Structure 1
Amino acid sequence: MPREKQKRGRRAEQKAQKGDTKRKHDDVPEEPVAKRVKSSDEADVEPFYEDRQGDYADDAAIPAIENEEMQDESGRPDSGDTPFYGLLDTEEQEYFSRASEMLELNQFIDDEERSLFVESVYREAEGKELKIACSQGCSRLMEKLISMSDVRQIRRIFNKFIGHFLHLVQHRFASHCCETLFINAAPAVMQKPSKQQAKKAEEEGETEPELSLADMFMTVIEELKDNWGYLLTERFASHTIRVLLLVLAGEPVDLSSTDSAVASRKKERLGAPVPGTEAETASSQKHSVPESFEPALKKIMSEMVSGVDDTYLRALASHPVGNPVLQVLLFLELSHFGKSSAKDPKSVLRRLVPDESFEEGTESATFIRGLLYDPVGSRLVETMVRYMPGKVFKNLYKNNIRERIGSLSRNSTAGYVVLKTLERLGKDDLQNAMELIIPEVPGLIERARLIVPRVLIERCVVRNVDTKPLARALKNAYSGDKTLRLRQMLRLDGPPESVQGPVDHEMKDAGEFDDDHAEQARAASAKSSASAPERLHGSLLTQAMLAVPGPLSELVYSSLLAQSPETILQLAQEPTSTRVVQQALTSPTSTPQFRRQFVAFFQGHLVDLAQNSNGSRVVDALWTATKDIFFVKERMAQELASKEMVLRDSFIGRAVWRNWSMDLYKRRRSEWNARAKGIERNQEGMEGSGERPKSKIELARERFAAKQNETEGKQAVSANS
């Protein structure tokens, strides 16, 4: 008879005990209890929404610091359960989902049509704003709506949120809507509601909010004033609080920056302005704020840190959520309120590092050294190095960084602190730092940590430091073969063919090279080749070398000339290496002798390059590169003209045709010759400075403006007389 299957060990015993406990509870009659709504943090969410956490999740997780006096069992402020604003029904969800898709596509005829559509969505959302903001699927729509709203619509939605901000900023989804609302309301915070808007709203049967945007921000501060200490480390509220602090200070809120302390790299930029638009320009600049904001900001910053002791404040430096808030507080304290504020014993900087000398064995030195290698804490040290007063920075550098800068540059975490340090060093200190980093250059190149050499080159150019020792170190770090050296610089080297190739062919001939072996070979090849970020950093380092006259740029130029034409054409069409080819053609450090030899690689292949998205930029750069070798430029123009229809059939090719002024080349050859030589002729036939000749309508406008100014001047003189 077979034996009964039994689990062994402590886990089986614990599970059995849990089962007995559950059965005992089942025997007890249930008592009627009040139904509690499940909070959004406890609810199950879809995997694709995990990136909307708004915290510092891209670093190693560190245990959260809890304040038991301020929190209840659920980890929230002891202010009762989170309110439930209701759920959208099926039809409403379908409508708002379609509206979100239309806003995402943005296929409106003009801005007026888009404004009408946004207004219609607002009418449909009347009374459901809080439901939408807390909805997992529709909160994105609220962010897009706010980012496309005018001042009147922003004031209306802001007024709907008033009274609920304490709960909304802690909500997984609504917190992002609050953040977007603060960012888009900031540029208009000085505007007062006009009587015309109130009259228009009254005609449409709508109630216009009585409060201005400035008063609404003060209302938000009043709602949150007793919870700053908790919100400092709250998972979802912290990123909204950071935005609020920057808005109150009138500082730009940059969501697009990768090293921004406002949001993590994983955050969706749904409410971020489109690059290149007026909204993007306004959000990236400082804005004026009411006088009442500055004392309110000082009070908030004081209340955030006054309720905790120095030990807890230093522990926040390695807290994944509290660290970014500390960065914002330090930035505002040292940058917005002036570096003299650091002398206050109650300031954040003095509480973190009370000993400004940073001598060995002091509390400040121990604190800083503990953060240098911490993935989260090192970010706070970067902020300190960047903004702290000059005297304090010199003491920090002298006692904690200067002698160790070589070993710090080797570390993948502390190396970023080294970068911020190099940006603040003077000429003599930078010279000394370069001498200490040079021995580490071969190891940095081998491990593809290229950002330290690149920044060192850029700072040496700014401070006028001799880069010849650094050029020798880089030359020794790369191969002596000029052909191979460029591939190493651009991180294009793959698996060694001398080892991999013959073995594969022998196995194939023997009939032993099956699909499994092929898959293993492809995996090994992918593992040994450089990744896209490594290629990008390799390209940036090579471009930095090209910008320095002397041995550094000569390393690159000699390697480029040693390549075969096929390799150069391949590099011209790669997304990262094409930048190096373009800079080699247009950089001030390139000599006419180099350009005469280098442009010859592209002759006969211009049409193919002109139809490639990356190669077309190289063809455009050839126009500038051949400015002093006219016969070569004319030969290239003939090559493009011979394939006119091929270029006109290509969208990218038409851009190249236009940039080379090929229509002018075919119809008015003499004018094209003058433009190709850098000589422009204006309408009077005089030689100009190489600028585009003015059209007849532009000249007429200038004559009209001059005549208008002359008439106004005469009228002013007659009035005075």
Structure 2
Amino acid sequence: MPREQQKRGRRAEKKAEKDESKRKFQEDPDAPVAKRLKPSAGEADETNDAAGFEENGDYIPLDQGEAPEGEVPDNSGDMVFYGLLDEEESEYFSRANEMLELNQFQDAEERSLFVDSVYAEASGKELKIACSQGCSRLMEKLISMSNPPQLRRIFSKFIGHFLHLVQHRFASHCCETLFIHAGPAVMQKTKPRPKDSEGGEEEPEQSLADMFMSVVEELKNNWGYLLTERFASHTIRVLLLVLAGEPVDVTSNESFVASRKKERLEIPTIQGEEKVGKTKKEKHTVPESFEPTLKKIMTDMVAGLDDVYLRALATHPVGNPVLQVLLFLELSHFGKSSAKDPKSTIRRLVPDESFEEESESGIFIRGLLYDPVGSRLLETMVRYLPGKAFKNLYRNNLGDRIGSLSRNSTAGYVVLRILERLGKDDLKIAMTNIIPEIPGLIERSRLVVPKVLIERAMVRGIDTKPLAEALEAAYSADPIIRLQQMLKFNISENVASKSEDHDMDAATDGKDRKPRGPPPISAAEKAEKLHASLLVQAMLTVPGPMSQIVYTALLAQTSETIAQLAQEPTTSRVLQQALTSTTSTPQIRRQLTTRFQGHLTPLALSSSGSHVVDALWSATKDIFFVKERMAQELEQHEQELRDSFVGRAVWRNWSMDLFKRRRRDWAYKAKGLEERDAAVEGAERPKSKLEQARARYAAAREAADAGATGANQTAVASRDAK
């Protein structure tokens, strides 16, 4: 009988012991896990020496590891876990989230009662909800709909845990929302409420201002670490802006706070709350104690960093936005005189204000120009630098290279900020340097620089004829093809696809038909069409040769092509601009508006075309016979328009009910006479010809009577004198 194969020696014994311990651990899952101890200072030094790192080496650990969901590491390596919601609680809060999204409340009072009931159910579970992947969105919505007393209560629940919450993947967004909505209410005085007013919950003693100071006290020893923490850096930016009283708009594309990937939660509002939403986008008053606190935070945040580390943050994807906020507050909020402080962030980044080409500052600026992350910091510097420093930066580093910089996909955004700050003379020179690059920019679909150049030339009052000639030369001489190139709209492909669909339907004899829509458009193609539309709209605002390029191309198109353009989301904006712009003369509008006749009904039933039909109402205010024919065309398809949502809007905007019942009043409104009367306060309705004749006759009769009376009085006076 063969013997069992066994390994011999100490290695076999160690492997057997290891397998035995592993088996016991799997059998007993509740066994305590040994906590990893933090190494002492001596052991840490020995580890660094063994790894080959010097004590003050160039190693800069910017990236931090991620923790498991629900557990947040702090500087000591400990894990904080606030617990999980059970199934019933998760189901209840999920239903509450759906109710708030549907927003089917009759008024604000009913919704307020619902929010109070959700708060009562969430009492004692606030931290669990904030750290929950599925329910943290509910917490954000609740905070957004809360009044100042409710904000104080939820704020008090978070105090003492902010160091862990701001680093949590989901709770950090709740902290952001809390800071944003508590900032405008920080100066409001709240009346104390009785204990039994809402679920027997006590009113916090601290005010919102004191709570913000508690947050700063809790985080004060961790600014350098939180600066580059993946989730905390967003919350730190919000906190800095709120302490400064600056508005925080996370929906803006130019916001310092939110990235493009941030999920924008649409908070439903009740009618009458638009003013409250507007106030949150405006500057708000803060207590006087906030300003020295903010200065200390900004100083402590960069005080422990050397210049090499600070400049490394300029190209770090997490640290760069925080630097943008610091520069913005230094240069705009505290005044540009703060930039002269040698300890300020801007002075440490660019110590030489002259920005000479071979200086340390000049080398640093050139390194940021072509970096996708660093160029955003350079945009902030160009926008908020003092005038003298900006002129030195432009003349010594950027002015002579502005043409080549506009060709680059990254540096081109810095060029936009430069053009916004240039004066009239410098802008003329910049335009001269950029004009030779226009054909290349048009060919590569980099249309943002020409668009901004047109807008700034209009603001500064610069002649745009050379720029118009360069744009016209960049496109085809044929106006029909030119419009297709300008708007990235291929008419032949659309016609071919429609004819192909018709042939397919005819071949199948109506059997096995499958709906075929237009081919899917990639995100890059959508962006190209959008930028092309914005450039053409900017050209339409400039009187003279610039707008004539577009009008000539539009008038060369057929009626069917115009109808196709009106049904595209991006190109319909161009038609609206062409119909309502001040550069469009009555002759141009007379030729352009007639091309829509016969296509008004399909356009009125289209989501994009309906806006063009609405623009035709104001475009034909001085062409009454064209407007009347269009109204008759719409009247013939009344039922189709009434059956469509956008069609009903067109029917209402064109006052078609008035057209059917009281044609004279509709004509009075269509000619713009009501608007003219509204502009002149107290003006009466113009008189008809018959009323004017009666008025003339009455005036002549009064004059004759007055003359006869005067003659009689003269005769009597002469007789008495005799």
- 1:488-511 superposed Cα distances (whole Å, 9 cap, x missing partner): 11111389899x99xx9xxx9xxx
Residue of 454, 457, 473 corresponding to 1:460: 457
Contact 2:140 2:177 in 1 (8 A): yes
- Residue 640 of structure 2 is aligned to residue 652 of structure 1: no
Alpha-carbon distance in 2 for matches of 1:651, 1:175: 41
Residue of 597, 600, 608 corresponding to 2:602: 608
- Alignment partner, residue 552 of structure 2: 558
State the SS of the aligned residue for 2:577. Answer: helix
How do residues 558-707 of structure 1 correspond to structure 2 at under 5 angstroms? 558-680=552-674, 689=679
Measure how far apart 1:75 and its partner are.
11
Structure 2 segments unaligned to the other structure (5+ residues): 1-10, 37-57, 505-516, 686-722
Contact 1:386 1:420 in 2 (8 A): yes
- Alignment partner, residue 59 of structure 1: none
Measure how far apart 1:206 and its partner are.
1.9
- Residue 84 of structure 2 is aligned to residue 87 of structure 1: yes
Paired letter, 2:550: V
How do residues 292-331 of structure 1 correspond to structure 2 at under 5 angstroms? 292-331=289-328
Contact 2:72 2:168 in 1 (8 A): no
Contact 2:168 2:231 in 1 (8 A): yes
Instruction: Please identify, of 22-31 and 287-296, the stretch whose mean Cα deviation from structure 2 is larger.
Output: 22-31
Instruction: Please identify, of 287-296 and 610-619, the stretch whose mean Cα deviation from structure 2 is larger.
Output: 610-619
Measure how far apart 1:337 and its partner are.
0.5
Alpha-carbon distance in 2 for matches of 1:529, 1:233: 31
Q: Under a length normalisation based on structure 2, what TM-score does the superposition of the two structures give?
A: 0.81
- Alignment partner, residue 515 of structure 1: none
Contact 1:252 1:283 in 2 (8 A): yes
Measure how far apart 1:153 and its partner are.
1.2
- Residue 264 of structure 2 is aligned to residue 269 of structure 1: yes
Contact 2:100 2:268 in 1 (8 A): no
How do residues 434-583 of structure 1 correspond to structure 2 at under 5 angstroms? 434-493=431-490, 531-583=525-577
Query: Are residues 77 and 309 of structure 1, via their aligned partners in 2, closer, same or farther at CA, if it must alter by over 3 Å?
Result: farther
Query: Are residues 163 and 193 of structure 1, via their aligned partners in 2, closer, same or farther at CA, if it must alter by over 3 Å?
Result: same
Contact 1:273 1:280 in 2 (8 A): no
Measure how far apart 1:66 and its partner are.
1.8
Contact 1:147 1:273 in 2 (8 A): no
How do residues 32-71 of structure 1 correspond to structure 2 at under 5 angstroms? 34-35=32-33, 65-66=60-61
Measure how far apart 1:628 and its partner are.
1.5
Measure how far apart 1:273 and its partner are.
7.6
State the SS of the aligned residue for 2:399. Answer: helix
- Residue 422 of structure 2 is aligned to residue 425 of structure 1: yes
Measure how far apart 1:26 and its partner are.
3.7
- Alignment partner, residue 250 of structure 1: 245
Query: Are residues 541 and 120 of structure 1, via their aligned partners in 2, closer, same or farther at CA, if it must alter by over 3 Å?
Result: same
State the SS of the aligned residue for 1:403. Answer: coil
Alpha-carbon distance in 2 for matches of 1:692, 1:103: 47
- Alignment partner, residue 185 of structure 2: 188
Alpha-carbon distance in 1 for matches of 2:639, 2:83: 62
Alpha-carbon distance in 1 for matches of 2:493, 2:159: 65
Paired letter, 2:237: R
Q: Under a length normalisation based on structure 1, what TM-score does the superposition of the two structures give?
A: 0.81
Root mean square deviation of aligned Cα: 3.4
How do residues 229-240 of structure 1 correspond to structure 2 at under 5 angstroms? 229-240=224-235
Measure how far apart 1:645 and its partner are.
3.0
- Alignment partner, residue 401 of structure 2: 404
- 1:39-77 superposed Cα distances (whole Å, 9 cap, x missing partner): xxxxxxxxxxxxxxxxxxxxxxxx9942799x99x9954
Residue of 349, 373, 377 corresponding to 2:374: 377
Residue of 202, 209, 212 corresponding to 2:207: 212
Paired letter, 2:238: V
Alpha-carbon distance in 1 for matches of 2:522, 2:468: 27
Residue of 121, 130, 133 corresponding to 2:130: 133
Contact 2:62 2:228 in 1 (8 A): no
- Alignment partner, residue 167 of structure 1: 164
Alpha-carbon distance in 1 for matches of 2:268, 2:311: 35
Query: Are residues 641 and 527 of structure 1, via their aligned partners in 2, closer, same or farther at CA, if it must alter by over 3 Å?
Result: closer
Measure how far apart 1:527 and its partner are.
8.5
Contact 1:491 1:530 in 2 (8 A): no
Residue of 332, 342, 350 corresponding to 2:339: 342
Instruction: Report how many residues are paired.
Output: 627
Alpha-carbon distance in 2 for matches of 1:681, 1:78: 67
Measure how far apart 1:272 and its partner are.
6.1
Query: Are residues 665 and 200 of structure 1, via their aligned partners in 2, closer, same or farther at CA, if it must alter by over 3 Å?
Result: farther
Specify the structure having the higher radius of gyration (Cα). 2
Alpha-carbon distance in 2 for matches of 1:111, 1:37: 51
- 1:466-507 superposed Cα distances (whole Å, 9 cap, x missing partner): 111111111111111100111111111389899x99xx9xxx
Query: Are residues 319 and 672 of structure 1, via their aligned partners in 2, closer, same or farther at CA, if it must alter by over 3 Å?
Result: same
Contact 1:431 1:465 in 2 (8 A): yes
Alpha-carbon distance in 2 for matches of 1:658, 1:645: 13
- 1:574-625 superposed Cα distances (whole Å, 9 cap, x missing partner): 1110010011111000011111111110112222222222111111111111
Instruction: Please identify, of 86-95 and 446-455, the stretch whose mean Cα deviation from structure 2 is larger.
Output: 86-95
Query: Are residues 692 and 637 of structure 1, via their aligned partners in 2, closer, same or farther at CA, if it must alter by over 3 Å?
Result: farther
State the SS of the aligned residue for 2:603. Answer: helix
Query: Are residues 471 and 93 of structure 1, via their aligned partners in 2, closer, same or farther at CA, if it must alter by over 3 Å?
Result: same
Paired letter, 1:261: F
Alpha-carbon distance in 2 for matches of 1:277, 1:248: 24
Measure how far apart 1:665 and its partner are.
2.4
Alpha-carbon distance in 2 for matches of 1:450, 1:64: 42
Paired letter, 1:377: G
Contact 1:493 1:530 in 2 (8 A): no
Alpha-carbon distance in 2 for matches of 1:347, 1:295: 15
Residue of 275, 280, 287 corresponding to 2:277: 280
Measure how far apart 1:36 and its partner are.
7.2
Paired letter, 1:662: M
Contact 1:357 1:396 in 2 (8 A): yes
> What's the % identity of the aligned pairs?
69
Paired letter, 1:569: A
Contact 1:245 1:297 in 2 (8 A): yes
Alpha-carbon distance in 1 for matches of 2:592, 2:449: 30
- 1:538-583 superposed Cα distances (whole Å, 9 cap, x missing partner): 1000000000001110000000011111110011111110010011
Alpha-carbon distance in 1 for matches of 2:681, 2:344: 55
Contact 1:482 1:562 in 2 (8 A): yes
Measure how far apart 1:203 and its partner are.
7.5
- Alignment partner, residue 174 of structure 2: 177
Query: Are residues 315 and 224 of structure 1, via their aligned partners in 2, closer, same or farther at CA, if it must alter by over 3 Å?
Result: same
Measure how far apart 1:140 and its partner are.
1.3
Structure 1 segments unaligned to the other structure (5+ residues): 1-17, 39-62, 509-521, 696-721
Contact 1:249 1:336 in 2 (8 A): yes
Contact 1:408 1:414 in 2 (8 A): yes
Alpha-carbon distance in 2 for matches of 1:490, 1:37: 64
The structure, 1 or 2, with the larger RCO (C-alpha pairs under 8 Å, 6+ apart) is: 1
Alpha-carbon distance in 2 for matches of 1:248, 1:591: 51
Alpha-carbon distance in 1 for matches of 2:157, 2:436: 61
Alpha-carbon distance in 1 for matches of 2:364, 2:390: 15
Paired letter, 2:553: S
Query: Are residues 690 and 450 of structure 1, via their aligned partners in 2, closer, same or farther at CA, if it must alter by over 3 Å?
Result: farther
Contact 1:375 1:413 in 2 (8 A): yes
